[in-house]
Amino acid sequence: MCWFGKLLQAVYAYGRAACLLQAGNLSQDEQQEVDALMKEVPTLRQRIAGKSIPLEKYVARKATRYISERTLVAPAIELAYMLQATYKTTEKALRKHVDSLKALHDSRLTKEDDKQMVNLLLAVHLRLLEFPRSEDVTSPGEKLRRGHVEDSTENDIEIVPLLQNARDSGGRLQQEHWVAYFAYYELGRYYEERGDYVEARKNFAAVASGSSLEGPTNARRGKYSLQVSPRSLFMLAPSQCLYRYAAQSSWSI
């Protein structure tokens, strides 16, 4: 697909490199392949009707970061989330990813961007384990009843602090500005699953407003690291989930 597909060659190339990096313990040949693919990714970007493709900008920036830093944190897990594949992942794979993300969470990551991205991804995986049918259409009344009846579990206790840390990190992020925006969306999804529609609407409204969510100490100037506006940022995943989910449900944001 990388070399013979007509569209998104940059994404396929980055996906191959990200999966190899995520697997770890690379042979010399595999390491050389990763390096070659990462260098190739920015050159494979295309334009449609004169416009760049946001997802290709995203993978090009990640590839550039790898070239300069020689490492990426959980690249395949992150890419799967961006492509919305995480929501369709099996329970076995989710648990495996949780173990990997918890190991990263407990390690001494030096960059705030990496710490908060791990917080976000770990919370998402825990939510999907806690609510394995979260992508199904469930009546608001049933979720409201469930939220009042069911006690918080160990996963529940972990999810909210992880997402709140990621949400409130906007002023400290240097490159991965999207993390703060996605954290608002994921908090909304979590509260919605618990039947807390007031808090869910607050978070959904914030992420859909198009306002800067990076905190008062980080005055945004110009473009994001994805080179797109906040509203265009949502093309990568959250708004597609948000508006699709709102349409499926019998409540509105």
pLDDT tens digits for 80-120?
A: 999 999 988 999 999 999 999 999 999 989 999 999 999 99
Residues 168 and 243 in one domain: yes
Helix or strand holding residue 167 (H, E): helix 154-167
The number of folded domains in the chain is 2
Residues 45 and 96 in one domain: no
Residue 5 lies in a domain: yes
Last residue of a domain, one of 10, 40, 72: 72
- Sort residue 220 into left (φ over 0), alpha (ψ -120 to 50) or beta: beta
Last residue of a domain, one of 72, 105, 125: 72
Please give the residue range of the domain that contains residue 38. 1-72
Residues 126 and 181 in one domain: yes
- Is the Cα torsion angle 193, 199, 203, 206 positive or negative in sign? positive
- Is 134 exposed, middle or buried, given 0-12, 13-18 or 19+ CB atoms closer than 10 A? middle
Residues 187 and 131 in one domain: yes
Residue 80 lies in a domain: no
Predicted confidence band at 195 (pLDDT cuts at 50, 70, 90)?
confident
Residues 7 and 110 in one domain: no
Residues 68 and 98 in one domain: no
pLDDT at 77 over 90: yes
Residues 130 and 231 in one domain: yes
Residue 208 lies in a domain: yes
pLDDT recorded at residue 148: 54
Residues 109 and 142 in one domain: yes
Residue 78 lies in a domain: no
Per-residue pLDDT, averaged over 221-230, amounts to 43
Residues 48 and 138 in one domain: no
Residue 234 lies in a domain: yes
Last residue of a domain, one of 42, 72, 102: 72
Residue 82 lies in a domain: no
Residues 159 and 236 in one domain: yes
Predicted confidence band at 15 (pLDDT cuts at 50, 70, 90)?
very high
Residues 47 and 123 in one domain: no
Count of Cβ atoms closer than 10 Å to residue 199 Cβ: 15
- Tell me the whole-structure pTM to 2 decimals: 0.82
3-class DSSP state for residue 16?
helix
Predicted confidence band at 247 (pLDDT cuts at 50, 70, 90)?
very low
Per-residue pLDDT, averaged over 187-205, amounts to 92
pLDDT recorded at residue 180: 92
Whether 249 and 197 have beta carbons less than 8 Å apart is answered as no
Residues 233 and 149 in one domain: yes
Residue 77 lies in a domain: no
Which amino acid would we find at residue 33? E
Per-residue pLDDT, averaged over 177-193, amounts to 93
pLDDT recorded at residue 209: 83
